Structure 1
């Protein structure tokens, strides 16, 4: 059974997903126009965020917000904050690729206690609550995959090469990690990566320069599915410094060692 808070989050994600699917149909038509769909997509992003904001604010008017588009909105509660990415996978959305998600997390004090990741095109609803496990569409309890060796593992990351120091570091990491694993994937949506890791589709994940709204929903999902998430130093600060290495205990440890070995 979902808690009342998680149910509020699910309803907000479903409503935002409906808005995005409607706009996604238009994006596919805009692909062939000379102007392109970029402005339309940024508006779709803001519309979805407004849907989430309105639903969550109505249900819990004293809670604060941290949102990708809208930034920080203060609350009077002092203990609770919603962390929201209304469209994780904007570039995919922009190109008509159906790999994107609405991602919402609830922070209580200094920990994430509930999260929702919803891919409206695939109609996959991932939910998690602290101590209550992680679930797909309320039917299947999620467990991270049981593979124990990197050589058998499919891992995922974000690859964006724009010439920055971080991007060249990522390329060096790829050079070390690719020969050690069965395969590397890149979906373009960090919350989807972590949800798929929690469900056993992926075995490991690493990436840096992520925002809190990229990390927070999936972090709880992976931990509630029996996985381990740390930053590059091996500590639990991944939400705020944007570095994530995740997997089951064995794969995470092996992957972390490779990531730490690249400078």
Structure 2
């Protein structure tokens, strides 16, 4: 199966759950928790992932699926990374910043990804051939320095505060001081899609899972931006538009640690 077929499968699976998510949005669904009260889940997360898995299995039966709700199943050269609702807290509360994220990797290399925003009906797609929003090519371009840039982040998370305490707060204070604008929208995948499109300038997150960032990482790289961190391993990430002065940024220290984390893979920091 070529990358176009993999992308078509991901897009079909993502759009298959759009009607359900739009109908349930702002219905204040019942919320359960997983790890702790900061980690919500709804019946719609689970049902959406079941639908996505059904589409993928029907079209690409000999593949593995790694999903946020259903864990790892299957085996094969193709592995799918699925987040049925990235931004569940937003979805449950009625804040329109959440998405479906699906990525395909062939023997450990990302080759296709979709980030679908069902509220705005924006479909961000990427393959090894490029990156698009609603079929139009996108280019990750924007601010060159912190003082001009908008940063999207989840940092510091409760886990960051538990682990690093005052160090995390001081780092966050420096970020607030030096960046023009800092926002905490609540969806890593959609944050990365916006950086890929040049709608924001940088995104930074910690403790992220592959289903959160795999599709977004491919989008950023293929749109000409920079993504640091290994999107197929749980950990931290940093992304920014092409031409951004990372060496002079408040996030320069973060970037050094991420370069070590990814092991300097040859595709780690470049776009096309």
Q: 1:168 to 1:93 in 2, by over 3 A?
A: farther
Unaligned runs of 5+ in 1: 31-36, 232-236
What is the CA distance between 1:179 and its match in structure 2? 1.5
Q: 1:246 to 1:253 in 2, by over 3 A?
A: farther
What is the CA distance between 1:74 and its match in structure 2? 2.1
For residues 255 and 226 of structure 2, the distance between their equivalents in structure 1, rounded to whole angstroms, comes to 16
1:234 equivalent in structure 2: none
1:56 equivalent in structure 2: 56
**1:161–1:168: 8 Å Cα contact kept in structure 2?**
no
In the superposition, the TM-score normalised over structure 1's length comes to 0.86
**2:10–2:56: 8 Å Cα contact kept in structure 1?**
yes
2:266 equivalent in structure 1: none
Counting helix residues as a fraction of each chain, which structure ranks higher?
1
Q: 1:168 to 1:17 in 2, by over 3 A?
A: farther
Q: Are 2:66 and 1:69 aligned? A: no
For residues 82 and 165 of structure 2, the distance between their equivalents in structure 1, rounded to whole angstroms, comes to 25
Instruction: Point out the more displaced range, 238-247 or 59-68.
Output: 238-247
In the superposition, the TM-score normalised over structure 2's length comes to 0.83
**2:14–2:101: 8 Å Cα contact kept in structure 1?**
yes
1:242 equivalent in structure 2: 235
2:158 match: secondary structure = coil
Unaligned runs of 5+ in 2: 33-39, 258-272
Q: How big is the alpha-carbon RMSD for the aligned residues of Structure 1 and Structure 2? A: 2.1
Q: Are 2:19 and 1:21 aligned? A: no
Q: Are 2:158 and 1:161 aligned? A: yes
1:141 equivalent in structure 2: 137
1:69 match: secondary structure = coil
What is the CA distance between 1:254 and its match in structure 2? 3.7
Instruction: Point out the more displaced range, 142-151 or 44-53.
Output: 142-151
Aligned length in residues:
244
**1:117–1:127: 8 Å Cα contact kept in structure 2?**
yes
* C-alpha distance after superposition, 1:45-69 (max 9, x if no partner): 0010011000000000001010000
1:208 equivalent in structure 2: 206
